Amino acid sequence: TMLIAVAVACIAAWRWERAGGLAVIICGMALGITASLTIGLASLTIGNPMPAQTLAGLVWALPFVIFGLLFRAVGKTSATSQA
């Protein structure tokens, strides 16, 4: 479900750069936090704490945050050039 939310936010960002970019950032961070918590809880369940793998969930969300920031930057420049 989080992947679907990020995909819908990316599609929305093509039309509405600033609002869609913010949605991509929020959904991407939520996806990264969810992945990190899932990895962390799974590693605790098997009795092997893995902090590096837990960090991988946040790193996995990084492209979505970058894309969201880029969409917001494009939206800001297009808004100022139209004014």
From residue 47, alpha-carbon distances to 11, 33, 42, 43 in Å are: 40, 21, 9, 6
pLDDT value, residue 82: 67
Is the pLDDT higher at 77 or at 26? Answer: 26
**At a CB cut-off of 8 Å and minimum separation 6, what does 1 contact?**
none
pLDDT tens sequence across 23-61 = 999 999 999 989 888 888 888 787 776 777 777 888 888
* Residue range 58-83: mean pLDDT, rounded: 84
What is the spatial distance between Cα 27 and Cα 10, in angstroms, rounded to a whole number? 10
pTM of full prediction above 0.85:
no
Q: Is the predicted pLDDT of residue 17 greater than 70, yes or no?
A: yes
Confidence of residue 83 (pLDDT cuts 50, 70, 90): low
Contact 79, 39 (CB under 8 A): no
